[in-house]
Amino acid sequence: MQNLTDFPGNATIHKTLSVIIKVCVVIPFFCVFLCCIVVMLNIFASHRQFLDTSRYILFACMLINDTLQLLSSVLLFLFIISQVKFAIVYCVPLLFFSSATFQNTPLILATMSLERYVAIFYPLQRPAAWRSDRIWIIVLSLWLISCITPLIDHAIIEHDPAVNVFSTPVICKTNSINSSPIQKLFRAAMSFLFFAVVAVIILFTYVRILLETRKLRQDRESVSKAMHTVLLHGFQLLLCMLAFTSPITETLIVLHVNWLPGDVSFFNFFCFILIPRFLSPLIYGFRDQILRAYIAKM
């Protein structure tokens, strides 16, 4: 009888300890990432030469987008893990913001690859849209496109008459708000479409730059750097796509490891949502010689 009475207390202690460990893992990573982003954005803002180059403007936009995506994701993580409930009307904007920034990442990667393609093949006759003073039009267009999917997703919500969006408290996660089969199918189809189009663009630019590298006898170094940059864009796209493998990884973990559902979800969240974003400043920022030189001076 004593063992039975002690069991709920032990379970509560284990749950509390698990929450503390998860928070202690996520928050330091996020703080280090935020420090790197602040340093890079400060360099961009302090030196005009970066704002006069389309490539650096797109890179800065990607850093800002990933920061907003991580901020919303970490907030949702903290709310879910703490079992904080609030009205749907406050939850939907946060979910919308997280979805839009998530969709925007592959679009920015594709745009960065196309920018390298234009810089290599049209160095003297660059289209007006790709100039540094016009690139903001493309950036705003990417934001508009990335917002369309979550807008439609939330527009086709099947409203439950028993749920009051202004007063009924819910745990703020996608499955609690957008759980109908139509919405799941729509999100899966749009995500596949987004990443397929971006993958084709990155593959096309990489192959064209690769072929151009073999033709050119001069300036091979800059073309080779562009090729490696596009290859890195493809690598990060692959990391982003890992987020869609969560149903497979959850099944494999459950079959081979005796983990709780919350631990499996955290594993997927950390490995396939956070880690790819943490790698962004490392992959691009510290690889760039000019930016690295400014960072070293700080």
Going along the chain from its start, the domains and CATH numbers come out as 2-297 (1.20.1070.10)
The pLDDT score that the predictor gives to residue 127 is 80
Give the global pTM.
0.84
Is 239 or 2 the better-scoring residue by pLDDT? 239
Average pLDDT of the chain to the nearest whole number: 79
Does residue 269 have a pLDDT over 50?
yes
Does residue 1 have a pLDDT over 50?
no
Is 240 or 130 the better-scoring residue by pLDDT? 130
CA distance 152 to 130: 30
The pLDDT score that the predictor gives to residue 145 is 92
Does residue 293 have a pLDDT over 90?
no
253 neighbors 275 (Cβ within 8 angstroms): no
pLDDT band at 247 (very low <50, low <70, confident <90, very high): low
